[in-house]
A and B are shown apart, each in its own frame.
Chain A
Amino acid sequence: MLIKTRHYAVIVTILISLVLQIMPLPIQADLYRPDWVLIVLAYWTMALPHRVNVGVAFLTGLAMDILLGTALGIHSFALSAAVYVLAANYQRLRNYSVWQQAIIIGLLSSMYHLMLFWLQHLLTDIPFQFAYLWPVVSSMVLWPWMFWLLRKARRQLSIT
């Protein structure tokens, strides 16, 4: 059983983050929904850069495109790019404190959202609103907690 959970832990956490990402919320809270998928992918990329990197991000992005009904490829583009930055610098980022990492996650998240906006702006004519960037703040706040939780899960199941 333990071996099984060990093998599937990464996939299961990504699936849970997908569910959290699409879960219906009241319209006031919806604006501040953190980027669950980006955070979980970011943790696994930093912890296991050889197992989780651009490929997994691409597939997760495709799943998000299907779930959110956007044109296929938009989320996979933005997620792959964001995860690439992490995978290329994982050794440096690992040595940062959690707060510094939170700032990095904030920067990544804003890059991710701007990329999503630009891609969709190319396809349909949508105006930019600063409200689109609220998830950046909530993701930064969420990062330390998720980092702690996922590290605990990783150590408990000794996933390498």
Chain B
Amino acid sequence: MDTIFSRGPSLNNRLALALALSVLLIFTDHKLDAFQSTRVYLNSIMSPLQYLANLPSVMLNFSAQRFTSHQSLVAENNRLTDQNLKMSERLQQFEVLQAENAQLRKLLDVPVEPKVHKMVAELMAVDNNPFSQQIVINKGAIDGVYLSQSILDDRGVVGQVMEVGSTNSRVMLISDVTHAIPVRAVRNNIRYIVSGNGALDELYLEHVPHSVDIQKGDMLISSGLGDVFPEGYPVARVESVLRDESRPFATVKARPLARLDRLKYLLLLWPDDAPRQPANKTTNKPLTPQE
């Protein structure tokens, strides 16, 4: 019923109100960052929709798993056994090196590398927002996820947590335009800042002087400066170096090592000085070769 009493404010006033509110929200959210804590609740309210949207792909995966042929399972099993063998062989070397490294560090009075707790998370959703590179993972505040926690995949650094919900959280990828990560080159320990530019397979290095010793193929690992990413995880490999003297800095492009376009399982890291620790803390002592 459209009576004069039930009509409320006129359409123009409604628009003015909605636009003013939106602008206010954009300002408080983006410039003042005032919704950090509220967003957790908002995300939790909205998470059923996220789960619902994820359902078709979960069901497809499930049925794909049910109907995988015996043959492909055997093939995969063989491949994994092979990989396992190779990796345990490398692990044996690694153990020796680790022990040796710890001894040397002790000799030099440098603190031994702290243990890092880890948890595997699964990809829930990839944002279809073309302006930002974000993903949603299936671990949240109840698992101990905290803001700006580092996320890896099996090859390298993927990104950091930007919003925590109670059962899921949102991760900003290193390729996002607003993201930058401090790194150093393995070859000569020169420090750089690697920023995203919105493309999944390209990062660029900021403010690199022309005279700096950097070349194609240099491996860049996280430097641990900035206290967000722990030190020593691979980030990217230098793809091209363009030294155009007419520009103030060299144009250096790098390729992320993590496969950002085909993420599935991700690793959450909890360094010892993290603000929160995982809910069910499992000590991951190094495997002995017998195990």
Contacts and interface: CB of A to CB of B under 8 A. Distances in A.
Contacts, number: 124
Contact of A69 (B18, B170, B198): B170
Contacts of A18: 49
Contacts of B35: 72
A110 interface: no
Given A67-B46, A68-B127, A126-B131, A57 B18 contact: yes
Given A61-B22, A74-B26, A22 B53 contact: yes
A33 interface: yes
A53 interface: yes
B46 A123 contact: no
Interface in A76-127: 76-77, 80-81, 84, 87-88, 116-117, 119-120, 123-127
Contact of A71 (B29, B53, B170): B29
Contact of B56 (A23, A33, A57, A58): A23
A74 B25 CA distance: 8
A70 to B, nearest CB: 6
Interface residues of B, number: 47
Classify the interface of chain B: helix, strand, loop or mixed: helix
A55 B26 contact: no
B22 A53 contact: no
B52 interface: yes
B27 to A, nearest CB: 8
Interface string B26-56: 1111100001000100110110011011101
B177 A124 contact: yes
Nearest to A70: B129
Contact of B18 (A80, A116, A129): A80
Given A58-B21, A63-B46, A66-B46, A19 B29 contact: no
Interface residues on chain A, size class: 35 or more
Contact of A25 (B23, B43, B128, B162): B128
B57 interface: yes
Given A18-B49, A69-B163, A54 B42 contact: no
Contacts of A119: 26
A55 B15 CA distance: 8
Interface of B: 2, 7, 11, 14-15, 17-19, 21-30, 35, 39, 42-43, 45-46, 49-50, 52-54, 56-57, 125-132, 134, 162-163, 170, 177-178, 198, 261
Given A71-B29, A76-B22, 4 more contacts: A23-B56, A70-B132, A127-B198, A129-B130
15 contacts: A18-B49, A19-B53, A22-B49, A23-B53, A24-B54, A25-B128, A27-B261, A62-B25, A66-B39, A68-B128, A72-B28, A73-B24, A123-B26, A124-B131, A124-B132
Which 4 interchain pairs have the tightest Cβ spacing? A73-B25, A77-B22, A80-B18, A73-B26
